[in-house]
Chains A and B, each alone.
Chain A
Amino acid sequence: MYWTLIKAGVLRKKARSILTVLSVSIAFLLFGLLQAASPIFSGQMEALQADMVITMNRYNMLGKLPYSHVEFIKEIEEVEDVLYMDYITSVSQETMFDGVTIAMGGNLEIYERFKISEEYLKAFRGLKIGTLVGESLAVDKNITIGDRVFVKSLSMNADGTNDWEFEVVGLYNASPKADELGMIVNYDYFDDSRTSDKGTVGMIIAKASEAELAEDISRTIDAEFKNSSWATRSGPESQIAVDMMAEFGDIELIINAILSAVFFTILLVAGNTISQSVRERTTDLAVLKTLGYQDLQIFNMVLLEATFLIFLGVSLGLGLSLLSLPAIDAASGGMMEGLVYLTWNKIFLAIGIGITVSFVSSIMPAYKALNLKVVDALRSG
């Protein structure tokens, strides 16, 4: 029964129904894409390791820490091993690398996001100027093992120039793929050769013996350096990722604010559409009541019609966003792998929002239809 009536209501003004569905679908496409990207901002990236404790300068994300911090962290009982790194900031226009050059020291093997074969690691350790290049970067720039690569950096070399030369001794893979857009050089060589910031590191990564201990280790580190001029900010990798994003602002709050505004607008658009549709069909509804349709059936019909329209939009929007995720991944050359995805929770959230929008936008028109007086409606119609 309801399907015939819903179809009749929806098809009465096809253009209006299509536009309503499209506006709802665009809102849910936006929802799908923003929610899919939210792991980037909320530290829920699949690749992040819970047992890795990141330590960095407390007051400056790109600030330095003395190497002695590495020694301290190594000695913490619950820490298995340590990796430390510094960034070689390149002047990208003048170098062949658009990616990041990272000087790494310590035990590279503890950081599971970076996959380096034993052979390459051995070669890397055996050559001071050796470098490991991310596979994606190597493919992109056509770099092969044995090549010499040059980086023009802001860091001055011991020879008085800003030019750094490395020899490619191997490749590495990373998850997410975006981390393959860089190269790893020996920290010791870089630190020995640079003329400023000697003996400092940009980030220390400690592997906790158990993931549950990561918080405790972080607290121990931060407490130790709390009153020093090299105060630290430590935390499990996922937490630090959130903190780093927070440096730019509360991205999740901004996303939620945008989505709230979008859905509020959709609520008004859908409410207006349904109200207008019911108002235009006053005579039709009165005729249905005349034929014996009960008030509650008419009420349900309006609610179901709104739900049908909104859920067409929800399905279309979410469907498009789900379809576009592999396309985004493919377009990024796999760089977004593990970074952009939609969980079932988010899909259920979208369905919940759809139900709410359907109900709120149609409850008033449905109530008016419920109370429609047949005699008055037929007389005025």
Chain B
Amino acid sequence: MSEILIKVENVNKIYERGGETLTVLDGLNLDVPKQDFLALMGPSGSGKSTLLNLMGGLDTPTSGSIGINGVQLDQMNSKQLSSWRSSNVGFIFQFYNLLPVLTADKNVELPLLLTNLSKSQRKDHVLTAMKAVGIDDRSDHKPNELSGGQQQRVAIARALVSDPDILVCDEPTGDLDRNTATEILELLKILNEDHGKTIIMVTHDPVAAESAKRILHLDKGKLTD
């Protein structure tokens, strides 16, 4: 069995809203090995996005621990989490979330602005990432000049450009037609199999989930299989 990259132990996530306590994750345990491609499925409100956010370092658990590559995310403050995210996780969203006024290459470059890389080094990295997802011929196009599939490729290039170990995908094909969705899923598979990226993907789409190596179902804050 491959080495464990992400270890989620007895994690609870509880929200207090309007005087009510809402338990979103309830004593959840999960191991994600390196180079896994994991699909998280479940009904709305089951806690899959919350779990994704916790593993991506966007949020912290109410209790329990999340360890990634020996780093305890639950012990980190906001500043440390930001810094950790910038070099360890790439995020891919359902609606791409590209900055509309920046061209594709400038969008891809955004994570690199936080590094000490020179302008030419950044340019090289951007080109490599864009070539990897097959969108390098659209580098000077703005998001509104690109199709949904092309925008998602730019978003994937942005997620890849810092060469993170983990890609966190929240419904990456939710806004795409079937053919484009298939292309994106193929791309994710290549990134997983050929580039060694560990991918955690939340999806409602069973077809999309079939692209993953493993499918886990959540319901009411617990894993059901």
Say if A and B assemble together: yes
A interface with B by C-beta (< 8 Å): 1, 4-5, 7-8, 11-12, 283-284, 287-295, 374-375, 378-379, 381
Interface residues on B, range: 20 to 34
Q: Mark B108-150, 1 if CB is under 8 A from A, else 0.
A: 0111011000000000000000000000000000000000000
- Does the CB pair A375–B114 fall under 8 Å? no
Chain A residue, CB-CB nearest to B109:
A4
Complex Cα gap A307–B125 (Å)? 32
Contact of A291 among B53, B79, B85, B101 (CB under 8 A): B85
Between A and B, 21 residue pairs with Cβ closer than 8 Å are A1-B113, A1-B114, A4-B102, A7-B101, A8-B99, A11-B101, A283-B97, A284-B99, A290-B58, A290-B85, A291-B111, A291-B158, A292-B82, A292-B85, A294-B79, A295-B82, A374-B58, A375-B53, A375-B58, A378-B93, A379-B49
Contact of B100 among A12, A294, A295, A378 (CB under 8 A): A12
- Does the CB pair B58–A295 fall under 8 Å? no
B59 at the A/B interface (Cβ < 8 Å)? yes
- For B109, what are the chain A residues with a Cβ–Cβ distance below 8 Å? 4
Task: Point out which of A287, A291, A294 has the most chain B C-beta atoms below 10 A from its C-beta.
Answer: A291
- For B79, what are the chain A residues with a Cβ–Cβ distance below 8 Å? 294-295
Chain B residue, CB-CB nearest to A378:
B93
B interface with A by C-beta (< 8 Å): 49, 53, 56, 58-59, 78-79, 82-83, 85-87, 91, 93, 97, 99-102, 106, 109-111, 113-114, 158
Complex Cα gap A1–B86 (Å)? 14
Complex Cα gap A378–B202 (Å)? 15
Nearest chain B CB to A7's CB is how many angstroms away? 8
Nearest chain B CB to A3's CB is how many angstroms away? 9
| Given known contacts A4-B102, A12-B101, A375 and B59 CB-to-CB distance under 8 angstroms | yes
Nearest chain B CB to A368's CB is how many angstroms away? 16
What are the nearest 7 A-B pairs in CB distance? A292-B86, A1-B113, A11-B101, A287-B97, A294-B82, A292-B85, A291-B111
Contact of B110 among A291, A374, A378, A379 (CB under 8 A): A291
- For A294, what are the chain B residues with a Cβ–Cβ distance below 8 Å? 78-79, 82-83
- For A5, what are the chain B residues with a Cβ–Cβ distance below 8 Å? 113
- Does the CB pair A290–B78 fall under 8 Å? no
- For B91, what are the chain A residues with a Cβ–Cβ distance below 8 Å? 287, 290-291
Contact of B102 among A8, A289, A295 (CB under 8 A): A8
Chain A residue, CB-CB nearest to B97:
A287
Contact of B87 among A287, A292, A378 (CB under 8 A): A292
Nearest chain B CB to A381's CB is how many angstroms away? 8
Nearest chain A CB to B59's CB is how many angstroms away? 5
| Given known contacts A4-B106, A375-B58, A293 and B101 CB-to-CB distance under 8 angstroms | no
Nearest chain B CB to A288's CB is how many angstroms away? 7
Complex Cα gap A7–B109 (Å)? 14
Chain B residue, CB-CB nearest to A287:
B97
- For A1, what are the chain B residues with a Cβ–Cβ distance below 8 Å? 113-114
Nearest chain B CB to A93's CB is how many angstroms away? 63
- For B100, what are the chain A residues with a Cβ–Cβ distance below 8 Å? 12
Complex Cα gap A112–B97 (Å)? 72
Nearest chain A CB to B31's CB is how many angstroms away? 23
Contact of A292 among B49, B83, B102 (CB under 8 A): B83
Complex Cα gap A1–B91 (Å)? 20
- Does the CB pair B93–A291 fall under 8 Å? no
Nearest chain A CB to B122's CB is how many angstroms away? 11
Chain A residue, CB-CB nearest to B164:
A292
- For A289, what are the chain B residues with a Cβ–Cβ distance below 8 Å? 82
- For B58, what are the chain A residues with a Cβ–Cβ distance below 8 Å? 290, 374-375, 378
Complex Cα gap A295–B80 (Å)? 11
Chain B residue, CB-CB nearest to A284:
B99
- For B111, what are the chain A residues with a Cβ–Cβ distance below 8 Å? 291-292
Given contacts A11-B101, A12-B101, A292-B86, 7 further A-B contacts (CB under 8 A): A1-B114, A4-B113, A291-B110, A291-B158, A292-B83, A292-B111, A379-B49
